[in-house]
Amino acid sequence: MLAGDTMPQGLRKALVQAADALCFGEEEDPPLWLLGGSCGLLLHDVPLAAPPRDIDLYADLEAVDRLHSALGRYACGKPAEDWSRGCFSLIGHYRLDDYHLELVCGFKVCSGPSKYNVETCLLQTGAPAENYPGIGRLRLMPLAHEFVFNVLRGRRDRYEVIASVMRRNLPAHLPLVQTLIRRNSLELSHIGLLGELLGVTALCS
């Protein structure tokens, strides 16, 4: 199983390129973006069975123009609407050496009756920016998001290991999980599974 300190060198280099391109320096009100997906999990020290194959960045819709412009040298076209599997995002594609980067903006996740709006402005409250050795300053998607997202996707291989990491310090993660449940429309079976995995009853109280 991989951990954060075993990140492939080529991926580390691609993350440096992305972070450098998206560093807005002293600009006022810089656009917010969060690193998620398998790269984010790796840096959260969530064990992965295989190295990340791509880079996933998340942002709200109003940030797309500035972020796309900053990544322009790597762009494979303009951001376009995507409605895959009943979900919505405005997504941009970029190539950084051997790695594909996706900029996912305004993501709305649908799974049966459950609907989850990915609000990076909300999620940043659980995502302090940190300096990562050999990469630089990044802000990761909080594990609460990754947990809810992967439960909705039915990714048992992901949500079980994420839950195991969260249980080590549940008070640090539980409030945001509860906030995401309150702000979104999740069916009771999904809420029940979230609570079961975390060992918490009455999760939405």
Q: Which pTM does this prediction carry?
A: 0.94
Residue 185 has what DSSP assignment? B
Listed by start position, the domains of the chain span 4-198
Q: Report residue 118 as tokens.
A: 């990915």
For residue range 28-50, list pLDDT tens digits in order.
788 999 999 999 999 999 999 88
Q: Which of 67, 44, 156, 75 is nearest to 120 (CA)?
A: 67
Nearest to 40 by CA among 127, 98, 155, 112: 127
Fold of 4-198: Beta Polymerase; domain 2 (3.30.460)
Mean pLDDT of the chain: 92
C-alpha to C-alpha distance for 125 and 123, rounded to whole angstroms: 5
For residues 19 and 135, the answer to whether their CB atoms sit within 8 Å is yes
User: pLDDT digits over 70-90, tens only?
Assistant: 999 999 999 999 998 779 999
67 pLDDT above the threshold of 70: yes
pLDDT value for 1: 45
Position 177 scores a pLDDT of 96
Average pLDDT over residues 191-202: 92
> What separation in angstroms does the CA of 67 have from each of 18, 50, 167?
10, 29, 34
> How does residue 205 score in pLDDT terms, banded at 50, 70 and 90?
low
Helices (H), 45-202: 64-70, 120-123, 143-153, 156-166, 170-183, 188-198
